[in-house]
């Protein structure tokens, strides 16, 4: 059994709870969870990645679980979220690193590839669109607007918090249960989720990711060309995102690959862990491109 250690580190003005495993000398791979999870979303990924020689790090992103929860909506701007990840890499003495991100964690990964390409060796994304692509789809694709109705709802004050905290956080638990493999959601796991959600200010902090993003000015996707090698894994039974999000996002990449898993939901890393891990090991095993020191 792999030994996972925990520490709190200072990064970009906040303290983050971080889980890590694998050799300190290994290439740094940062795993980024999405809504409404925490570092434990990647629990089954530590052992195979660490066994392959990678230094695996999974933070509770700001606002989640045991990490700091700033109160201001602006503190959850995607630039700040990306800077947190850069701060984690700096803490471990690594200028360049790889990211695996699901949901919001994938969106943060896309943003690092957009704004800080010189820091990112490789990016693996699971069921998350590039933020500019998602924003444009909300304007041009009625089906995506229908699927993302909750994003507008989350802009309200207090009402979403009341709904998500009611009946022992039942609505959040139901979200987590929406996997193709319901056996992966155990009572013990839900207890851990509920403990994180019930922490003072936790639900508001989680919702503030959506609120800050709704206010964000984003570049047009037509003007973007991403040079970071990208692997996109997409569960086709995703109720929150249409397949066109994946197709358009990977189209922004100079070196991009997409894998569609037809029986997986939005929770693809839980539905198809063996296939996702195999794809990650194959992707990370390829030679990473070298960049000049000026980047």
Q: Please list the active-site residues.
A: 103, 210, 266
3-state SS track over the chain? CCCCEEEEEEECCEEEEEEEECCCCCCEEEEECCCCCCHHHHHHHHHHHHHCCCEEEEECCCCCCCCCCCCCHHHHCHHHHHHHHHHHHHHCCCCCEEEEEECHHHHHHHHHHHHCHHHEEEEEEECCCCHHHHHHHHHHCHHHHHHCHHHHHCCCCCHHHHHHHHHHHHHHHHHHCCCCCHHHCCHHHHHHHHHHHCCCCHHHHHHHHHHHHHCCCCCCHHHCCECCCEEEEEECCCCCCCHHHHHHHHCCECCEEEEEECCCCCCHHHHCHHHHHHHHHHHHCCCCCCCCCCC
């Amino acid at each position: 059994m792999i030994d996972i250690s925990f520490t709190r580190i200072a990064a970009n003005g906040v303290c983050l709870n971080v889980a890590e495993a694998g050799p300190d000398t290994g290439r740094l791979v940062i795993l980024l969870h999405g809504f409404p999870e925490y570092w434990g979303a990647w629990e089954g990924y530590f052992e195979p990645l660490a066994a392959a020689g990678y230094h695996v790090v999974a933070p509770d992103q700001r606002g989640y679980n045991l990490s700091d929860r700033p109160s201001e909506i602006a503190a959850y701007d995607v630039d700040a979220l990306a800077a947190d990840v850069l701060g984690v890499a700096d803490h471990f003495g690594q200028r360049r690193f790889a990211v695996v991100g699901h949901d919001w964690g994938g969106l943060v990964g896309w943003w690092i590839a957009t704004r800080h390409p010189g820091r990112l060796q490789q990016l693996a994304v699971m069921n998350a669109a590039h933020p500019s692509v998602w924003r444009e789809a909300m304007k041009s694709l009625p089906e995506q607007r229908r699927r993302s109705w909750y994003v507008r709802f989350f802009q309200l004050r207090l009402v979403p918090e009341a709904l998500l905290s009611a009946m022992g956080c039942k609505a959040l638990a139901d979200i987590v249960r929406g996997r193709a493999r319901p056996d992966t959601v155990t009572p013990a796991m839900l207890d851990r989720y509920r403990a994180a959600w019930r922490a003072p200010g936790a639900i508001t902090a989680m919702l503030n990711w959506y609120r800050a993003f709704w206010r964000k000015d984003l570049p047009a996707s037509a003007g973007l060309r991403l040079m970071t090698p990208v692997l996109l894994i997409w569960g086709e039974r995703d109720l929150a995102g249409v397949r066109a999000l994946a197709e358009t996002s990977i189209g922004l990449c100079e070196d991009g690959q997409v894998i569609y898993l037809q029986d997986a939901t939005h929770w693809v890393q839980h539905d198809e862990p063996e296939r996702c891990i195999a794809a990650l090991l194959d992707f990370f095993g390829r030679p990473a491109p070298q960049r000049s020191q000026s980047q």
